Chains A and B, each alone.
Chain A
């Protein structure tokens, strides 16, 4: 074999190759250097992931800035993250989570049961933070399996939003919102306008003015709707609460076939039968994005809608001249329960494996102060989850109906999504069943039987696993004070 000049110059390629291999070997760690723990002047850096953008992000940034200026030991660095729950899960699994993250109360059961969060009981007790400091439901939503996992930031409650002008035009009293679901459905009919051909001529009439034959034929086009259960469609799976239904027994049984759940599905079915599957689809296809002037409520084509207090922000931005009002959303049986509100809250958590849990909690504690909480929630135009607010909070609040939302959150009728780690799947399963019902493809009972069977099986499996790890987890969580206090300030990773 003849040696080529290249192979004879042994140093060149070999050194290059060796260099490449070394680069490749150290590459991954070289690309992601260990996060800086301290600033040049020795302050501990707390990494904070939050989902908010726009004015909501700015409001939180204002709180972060004030915290950073209020002391000289900790600097919080806020980073805006989309799909935060998934990224938090992956970063926690990879052992490199942020110190604080902003998620939602409905994610707490899943994250905590899987050991992804740091229990806050010990630190909250040391800081003197108790249930009495909060509107009780928000404290309860931060707890799961007997431990405290989060503290709230910006809460939400839902209520009936309605269009006063459309009420007047329909001959309804805008100061007398519906007091029961049956009344809401009647008003919805009065508020619904359809177009059709009468004697070959196109006409627009209100639904109650249709003849019985026209109602039975459903050959019309919807121009305006009084109410649509599937708009905005975010809480479809929780409508059963308005019918006294339960989705879960609180322990090991899914109750998707309970009478209240079936009643809610029959209500959906009623809308599809009354207004026509194709007509509703066609009307729904004409809606623009939620955050746009083509939003059906903002473009005044749907007169009544279940919405949270954030709706004010969108009305203010896209339909500032709309005449609107807010009232508790009535329930099916007003004699048993006058109204129902759905509660949820954004929360701050410390992921397991966070490098600076103590410093992270110092920030969370600061956010729980009355001043910071009011700064944040006035900035985001929401209400404070704290039991005490300054006397001027409601008066200064831009949302004229904020007091209603606060009262709703304080009421005994505040409901929340089931505290189930499989809620995400449950919700999707319910949505599929609702799709079948609204398409009049499947009877509500049949659709719900399928949900029940599938979810019960999933819950059984989750519970079997939970039974295996429960003792270990609870012991680990109970002993957090020892792994918390041994956490070195210089940020050695917590294991």
Chain B
């Protein structure tokens, strides 16, 4: 390395140092100590005591851990594909040349700007079993005994899945950007060949926006497994009979309500490994389905 290169390296490092310092202090250090604490009996107030893999072993026999994991997978298994399909279809509709298109785009995007807690408070009332707008509408349709959305354990998770569809605005915007990048010429060629709309969607649109679908899939996996704010605000400690106790909420309970910070750290690491594994599986299984124009 020449003197000049060394100088440039120093200057470069100096320029990125704010980020490096921030990363080391506020990301790497907490991540590192959380791994250490996950191997300790640690209650925040007193000194951690090393217990090895005890926290991880405890998880195996903790029924609530498994219940929260099942609840989270249930939520992810429905909200992720539903969210992806609904947002893609919404984006395709909003990409049509219709009157007032900008207005519709704004309307669909606005919910994602509403603060999560404020949105959750509104949904508590929409989903109220007696006075809620949703049940009022269902009664108008002739359903005399609509579900008690938030007080019946059977309906708490479907309620949250339904709610999650309300905030697809961000994903819609990403799809819209991708849809506008699909070359018109391909659709024109397809028109000449007499292709139907479904055929064009399946053979042109979806392959060409597949990298964006893949991106939304990965972000969706991460987001849905970490779902926290809405269930926490709406159903406190997990709702009736912990029917909506999600993994991240249970981590919070352990860390701050029960002061089992060591156990909470261990749970966070297990969640990280689960997300990592699912992302890897998603990447492997979709490798041949994604079309990158540059390749």
Binding site for B on A (CB under 8 A): 1, 7, 13-14, 17-18, 20-21, 24-25, 86, 89-90, 92-93, 110-111, 114-116, 278, 281-282, 284-286, 422, 424-425, 428, 431-432, 435-436, 439, 441, 450, 454, 461, 465, 468-469
Report whether A89 and B259 are in contact in the complex, using a CB–CB cutoff of 8 Å: yes
Report whether B152 and A281 are in contact in the complex, using a CB–CB cutoff of 8 Å: yes
Report whether A278 and B148 are in contact in the complex, using a CB–CB cutoff of 8 Å: yes
Between A and B, 18 residue pairs with Cβ closer than 8 Å are A13-B11, A14-B14, A17-B14, A17-B17, A21-B18, A89-B259, A115-B45, A282-B129, A285-B130, A285-B148, A286-B130, A425-B257, A432-B242, A435-B240, A435-B242, A436-B241, A454-B64, A465-B41
Report whether A20 and B18 are in contact in the complex, using a CB–CB cutoff of 8 Å: yes
Report whether A17 and B15 are in contact in the complex, using a CB–CB cutoff of 8 Å: yes
- Asked whether any CB of chain A lies closer than 8 Å to the CB of B153, the reply is yes
Report whether A7 and B259 are in contact in the complex, using a CB–CB cutoff of 8 Å: no
CB contacts (< 8 Å) of B9 on chain A: these are none
CB < 8 Å: which of B15, B18, B148, B253 contacts A282?
Answer: B148
- Asked whether any CB of chain A lies closer than 8 Å to the CB of B258, the reply is yes
Report whether B257 and A424 are in contact in the complex, using a CB–CB cutoff of 8 Å: yes
Contacting A at CB under 8 A, from B135-151, are 145, 148, 150-151
Contact digits for B54-78, partner A, Cβ 8 Å, 1 yes 0 no: 0000000001100000000000000
Report whether B242 and A114 are in contact in the complex, using a CB–CB cutoff of 8 Å: no
Q: Knowing A89-B44, A281-B151, A281-B152 are in contact, say whether A25-B21 is a contact too (CB < 8 A).
A: yes
CB contacts (< 8 Å) of B152 on chain A: these are 278, 281
CB contacts (< 8 Å) of B18 on chain A: these are 20-21, 24
CB contacts (< 8 Å) of A282 on chain B: these are 129-130, 148
Report whether B45 and A439 are in contact in the complex, using a CB–CB cutoff of 8 Å: no
CB contacts (< 8 Å) of B237 on chain A: these are 428, 431
**A325 vs chain B, min Cβ distance (A):** 29
- Asked whether any CB of chain A lies closer than 8 Å to the CB of B46, the reply is yes
**A218 vs chain B, min Cβ distance (A):** 13
**A450 vs chain B, min Cβ distance (A):** 8
Query: Which residue from chain B places its CB closest to the CB of A434 in the assembled complex?
Result: B241
A13 to B15 Cα, complex, angstroms: 9
- Asked whether any CB of chain A lies closer than 8 Å to the CB of B100, the reply is no
Report whether B46 and A115 are in contact in the complex, using a CB–CB cutoff of 8 Å: yes
A83 to B55 Cα, complex, angstroms: 27
- Asked whether any CB of chain A lies closer than 8 Å to the CB of B52, the reply is no
- Asked whether any CB of chain A lies closer than 8 Å to the CB of B256, the reply is yes
Report whether A116 and B41 are in contact in the complex, using a CB–CB cutoff of 8 Å: no
A246 to B153 Cα, complex, angstroms: 29
Contact digits for B113-156, partner A, Cβ 8 Å, 1 yes 0 no: 00000000000000011110000000000000100101111000
Q: Knowing A21-B21, A435-B240 are in contact, say whether A424-B258 is a contact too (CB < 8 A).
A: yes
CB contacts (< 8 Å) of A18 on chain B: these are 14
**A122 vs chain B, min Cβ distance (A):** 22
**B25 vs chain A, min Cβ distance (A):** 8
Interface centre among B11, B49, B128, B259 (most CB of A within 10 A): B259
**B254 vs chain A, min Cβ distance (A):** 9
CB contacts (< 8 Å) of B194 on chain A: these are none
Report whether A435 and B45 are in contact in the complex, using a CB–CB cutoff of 8 Å: no
CB contacts (< 8 Å) of A86 on chain B: these are 256
A379 to B210 Cα, complex, angstroms: 66
**B23 vs chain A, min Cβ distance (A):** 12
CB contacts (< 8 Å) of B241 on chain A: these are 432, 435-436, 439, 441
A370 to B83 Cα, complex, angstroms: 62
- Asked whether any CB of chain A lies closer than 8 Å to the CB of B32, the reply is no
Q: Knowing A114-B45, A281-B151, A281-B152 are in contact, say whether A439-B240 is a contact too (CB < 8 A).
A: yes
- Asked whether any CB of chain A lies closer than 8 Å to the CB of B22, the reply is yes
CB contacts (< 8 Å) of A450 on chain B: these are 63
**B2 vs chain A, min Cβ distance (A):** 8
Q: Knowing A435-B241, A439-B153, A439-B240 are in contact, say whether A93-B148 is a contact too (CB < 8 A).
A: no
Query: Which residue from chain B places its CB closest to the CB of A86 in the assembled complex?
Result: B256
CB < 8 Å: which of B43, B151, B258 contacts A114?
Answer: B43
Known: A13-B11, A286-B129, A435-B240. 12 other contacts (CB 8 A): A17-B14, A24-B21, A86-B256, A89-B256, A110-B259, A278-B145, A278-B148, A282-B130, A282-B148, A428-B237, A435-B242, A465-B41
**A283 vs chain B, min Cβ distance (A):** 8
CB < 8 Å: which of B4, B45, B130 contacts A93?
Answer: B45
**A437 vs chain B, min Cβ distance (A):** 10
A-B CB proximity, top 4 nearest: A285-B129, A114-B45, A435-B241, A286-B130
Query: Which residue from chain B places its CB closest to the CB of A88 in the assembled complex?
Result: B45
A18 to B14 Cα, complex, angstroms: 8
Interface centre among B11, B63, B240, B241 (most CB of A within 10 A): B241
CB contacts (< 8 Å) of B259 on chain A: these are 89, 110, 114
CB contacts (< 8 Å) of A24 on chain B: these are 17-18, 21-22
Report whether A281 and B45 are in contact in the complex, using a CB–CB cutoff of 8 Å: no
CB contacts (< 8 Å) of B4 on chain A: these are 1
